[in-house]
Each structure stands twice: as structure tokens, then as C-alpha cells.
Amino acid sequence: MLSQNKEDEKNISNKRVIMQYAGMATQFLVVIGITVFAGLKADQWLNWSVPIFVWVLPLLAIIGMIYSIIRRISNK
């Protein structure tokens, strides 16, 4: 009976970790999508020949998300 409770707690803990990382991955994809879209609109609005914002905005978002992930993981 005691080992069953420990196993149940471990399964619940594993599910929480999986959901946490799935949430971070979803957030990462949404942020990349939004920054690419914003970069496209900014480049269209400025009418530049080189699409700078399409590259810069997602790059800044990736750097920020990696920093955020490292902070979350290092706190544990």
C-alpha cells in the first residue's frame, strides 16, 4: 500500500513536470510566431529592401526566452 502511494505521487510529479515543459514550449512557439508576424508587418510598414525586423525580433525573443528558461531551471 505504501509503495503504491509513492508510485502515485511520482506519476503525479512526472505529469506536472511534463505539463510545465509543454507550457514553456507552447509559450516559446507563440512568442516566435508573434515576433515573426510583427517583424513582417514592421518591414512592410518601413518598406525596407532587407527584412531586418523579421530576423531581429525573433532573435531577441529567442534570447529572452532562453534567459527565462535558464532562470526558471536554476531556481529549482
Per-run averaged pLDDT (10 residues), the chain, 76 residues: 62 81 91 96 92 95 91 78
The cell for 1 is 500500500
What are the C-alpha distances in Å from 31 to residues 13, 55, 60, 65, 76? 27, 14, 10, 9, 24
Question: How many C-beta atoms surround the C-beta of residue 31 within 10 A?
Answer: 17
Look up the pTM and report it: 0.74
pLDDT value of position 48: 85
- Which DSSP string do the residues of the chain spell out, in sequence order? -HHHHHHHHHHHHHHHHHHHHHHHHHHHHHHHHHHHHHHHHHHHHHT-SS-HHHHHHHHHHHHHHHHHHHHHHHT-
pLDDT value of position 12: 73
pLDDT value of position 8: 64
pLDDT value of position 44: 93
